[in-house]
């Protein structure tokens, strides 16, 4: 694994490192300062080789190596149950919004396992760890915004109690994305005003900023601001 660290360090950009450190806001990891296109090349190569050994042995203290781990989840050939097991094992290392958002994608393995996935996502959203909550909401965001599951999805969204900033931001983002496809369902949720003040108002703000939603609906939903 030292070879991978040295290879990454050969692409280090000190100015970018300082910028990324401020942006990610996770003081519990070491930053090398490698830009995303270069990291993606490493992901592609590792996915074609011994990715199991990489995940087992890499130095978990490095931000960029955690990013590679997270990105690998959507690149390697594994089934649904292996995906969930690997996500569970990776969860303690999801310690920032950036690691979460680069890891939780549209996973083709979820097809046919949507009901099981909803249960897993709900478990994550009940965590005291805001990044576990963000991960659960991210699973819903990337895989389950459809007419069959929208009711369950919004019920989970409404039930989130975690007060972490990054959990609430993802919840607001999820609600705004749902609004583009299911405006009536989201209007019903926002009209109840049962979300915490931050999430309610941030969701309305994100809806206002969306290019997918018409002005009339934006104006109507703005009335539900707390």
Q: 36-43: long-range contacts (C-beta < 8 A, 24 or more apart)? A: 38/8, 38/11, 39/8, 39/64, 39/67, 39/68, 39/71, 40/71, 42/4, 42/7, 42/8, 42/68, 43/68, 43/71, 43/72, 43/75
Span 172-200, pLDDT tens digits: 999 999 999 999 999 999 999 999 999 99
Q: What is the 3-state secondary structure (H, E, C) of 94-153?
A: CCCHHHHHHHCCCCHHHCCCHHHHHHHHHHHHCCCCHHHHHHHHHHHHHHCCCCCCHHHH
Q: 221-226: long-range contacts (C-beta < 8 A, 24 or more apart)? A: 221/179, 221/186, 221/187, 221/190, 224/190, 224/191, 224/193, 224/200, 225/200, 225/201, 226/193, 226/197, 226/200, 226/201
pLDDT at 78 over 70: yes
Q: With 0-12 CB in 10 A as exposed, 13-18 as middle and 19+ as buried, what is 52?
A: exposed
Average pLDDT, the chain: 97
43 touches 72 (CB < 8 A): yes
Span 18-64, pLDDT tens digits: 999 999 999 999 999 999 999 999 999 999 999 999 999 999 999 99
Span 100-125, pLDDT tens digits: 999 998 999 999 999 999 999 999 99
pLDDT at 1 over 70: no
Q: DSSP characters for 21-69?
A: HHHH--TTSB-----HHHHHHHHHHHHTS-HHHHHHHS-TTBHHHHHHH
What is the dihedral sign for C-alpha 37, 43, 46, 47? negative
pLDDT at 80 over 90: yes
What is the predicted pLDDT for the residue at 2? 74
Dihedral, CA atoms, 200, 204, 209, 214, nearest 10 degrees? 150
- Please, what is the end-to-end C-alpha distance for the chain in angstroms? 51
Q: State whether residue 14 is helix, strand or coil.
A: helix
168 touches 196 (CB < 8 A): yes
What is the reported pTM? 0.94
């Amino acid at each position: 694994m030292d070879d991978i660290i040295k290879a990454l360090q050969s692409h280090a950009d000190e100015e970018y490192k300082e910028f990324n450190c401020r942006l990610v806001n996770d003081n519990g990891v070491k930053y090398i300062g490698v830009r995303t296109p270069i990291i993606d090349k490493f992901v592609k190569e590792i996915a074609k080789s011994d990715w199991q050994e990489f995940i087992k042995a890499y130095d978990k203290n490095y931000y960029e190596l955690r990013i590679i781990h997270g990105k690998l989840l959507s690149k390697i050939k594994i089934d649904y149950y292996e995906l969930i097991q690997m996500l569970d094992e990776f969860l303690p290392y999801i310690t920032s919004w950036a690691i979460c958002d680069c890891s939780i994608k549209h996973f083709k393995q979820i097809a046919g396992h949507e009901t099981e996935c909803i249960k897993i996502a709900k478990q994550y959203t009940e965590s005291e760890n805001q990044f576990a909550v963000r991960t659960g909401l991210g699973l819903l965001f990337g895989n389950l915004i459809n007419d069959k599951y929208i009711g369950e999805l919004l019920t989970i969204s409404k039930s989130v109690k975690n007060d972490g900033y990054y959990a609430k931001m993802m919840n607001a983002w999820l609600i705004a994305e749902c609004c583009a496809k299911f405006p009536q369902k989201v209007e019903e949720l926002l009209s109840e005003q049962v979300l915490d003040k931050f999430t309610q108002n941030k969701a309305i703000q994100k809806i206002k900023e969306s290019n997918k939603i018409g002005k009339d609906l934006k104006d109507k939903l703005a009335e539900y601001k707390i």
